[in-house]
Amino acid sequence: MDLDAVGRVCRERGLWFVVNGSQAVGAMPIDLRTVPVDALVSVGFKWLCGPYGTGVCWLRPEQFDALRPTKLYWLSALTADDLAASSLDLESITPRRAGRFDVFGAANFFNFVPFAAAVELLLELGIDDVAAYVDGLVVRLLAGLDRTWFRLLSREDCRSPLVVLEPLAEPAGNVFERLAGAGVYVAHRRGRIRISPHLYNTPGDIDRALELVQSKA
């Protein structure tokens, strides 16, 4: 998606531009300092390689005042030091700026630890390098694809980490079952196969997937 173009249209009409980046964040770079995006949300279990129940939400600072605060609870307003203090004035408690918008309830600390480790790994590797590596796997996949057996539905001129194929020689369900049976996990979407390589995949994985999708049983 052309974020700059859509964002300009939203700006001209006084609309917020809220982007669901779940199919990109962690695999493709985005500079929120330059694109006209007002909010970006993403699940943590896709390209960010975190567990279920995690995610991120970024808001442009000037948008905070337009949001309705959620119910006040201790985790959005107090620190461990506050709770350990000799006295606590409950009447004076005010939530931290970001904490005002937390989902009500205690945090899922069990999931936050592996999620933080996953994000730290991506930052250590560098998102630009991750994106270049993943794109190389996508290029390898497209180059080895027999176009007489499959129709490419995802864009080739503006590639993403998602490759969507429509099998022409056999039902998509057959292709999916053959891959799954060999331990190669893709997505089956209404007669189409979606292959999504990421940084934990190797060129050998791509070659194996190509061999399996093009070996009609």
Q: What is the CATH number of the domain that holds 204?
A: 3.90.1150.10
Considering the domain architecture, whether residues 56 and 29 belong to the same structural domain is answered as: yes
pLDDT digits (tens, 9 = 90+) for 7-50: 999 999 999 999 999 999 999 999 999 999 999 999 999 999 99
In the chain, which stretches have pLDDT less than 70? 95-107, 217
Q: Give residue 158's pLDDT.
A: 84
Under 8 Å between Cβ of 149 and 179: no
Q: Give residue 101's pLDDT.
A: 66
- Report the phi/psi class of residue 98: left, alpha or beta, with left for phi > 0 and alpha for psi in -120 to 50: alpha
Considering the domain architecture, whether residues 103 and 93 belong to the same structural domain is answered as: yes
Q: Which of 125, 146, 161 is the last residue of a domain?
A: 125
Q: Give residue 182's pLDDT.
A: 92
Under 8 Å between Cβ of 210 and 204: no
Q: Give residue 99's pLDDT.
A: 65
Q: Give residue 105's pLDDT.
A: 64
Structural domain of 118: 3-125
Considering the domain architecture, whether residues 140 and 106 belong to the same structural domain is answered as: no
Q: Give residue 47's pLDDT.
A: 94
Under 8 Å between Cβ of 56 and 25: yes
Name the domain count of the chain: 2
**Burial group, residue 21, by CB count within 10 angstroms (0-12, 13-18, 19+):** buried
- Closest by Cα among 118, 97, 116, 119 to 107: 116
Q: Give residue 61's pLDDT.
A: 86
Q: Give residue 96's pLDDT.
A: 66
What's the pTM value of the predicted model, to 2 decimals?
0.81
Considering the domain architecture, whether residues 150 and 90 belong to the same structural domain is answered as: no
